[in-house]
Amino acid sequence: MTTVEPLGAVRERVLATLRQEIITGRLRPGDRLVERELADRFGVSRVPVREAIRALVAEGFVHFETPRRTVVRPLTPTDVKELFELREALEVYATGLAAQRATRADLAELEELLDRAETATRTQDATAIPEINTRFHDRILTMAGNGLLVSVMEPVAGRVRWLTHQNEEWPQLLIEHRELYAAIASGDPERARAHALAHVQANYRSTVRQLFGDTEAGSGGSGTDGSGPDGSGTGAGAGAGANK
- Statement: residue 226 has pLDDT above 50: no
The mean pLDDT of 102-124, rounded to a whole number, is: 97
- CATH 1.20.120.530 domain extents, the chain: 77-217
pLDDT number for residue 47: 96
- CATH 1.10.10.10 domain extents, the chain: 7-72
Question: For residue range 143-202, what is the model confidence (pLDDT) as tens digits?
Answer: 999 999 999 988 888 888 888 777 678 999 999 999 999 999 999 999 999 999 999 999
pLDDT number for residue 25: 87
- Statement: residue 3 has pLDDT above 70: no
CATH class of 77-217: mainly alpha
Q: Judge contact between 217 and 208, C-beta under 8 A.
A: yes
The mean pLDDT of 8-16, rounded to a whole number, is: 95
pLDDT number for residue 113: 98
The mean pLDDT of 54-61, rounded to a whole number, is: 93
pLDDT number for residue 174: 95
Angle (deg, nearest 10), helices 147-164 and 7-24: 50
pLDDT number for residue 93: 96
Q: Judge contact between 199 and 222, C-beta under 8 A.
A: no
> What residues contact 132, with CB distance under 8 A and at least 6 apart?
113, 116, 117, 120
- Statement: residue 8 has pLDDT above 70: yes
Q: CA Rg, the chain, in Å?
A: 19
Q: How many residues does the chain have?
A: 244
Closest CA to 191 of 228, 140, 217: 228
Domain 7-72: give its CATH code.
Answer: 1.10.10.10
Q: What is the pTM of this model?
A: 0.79
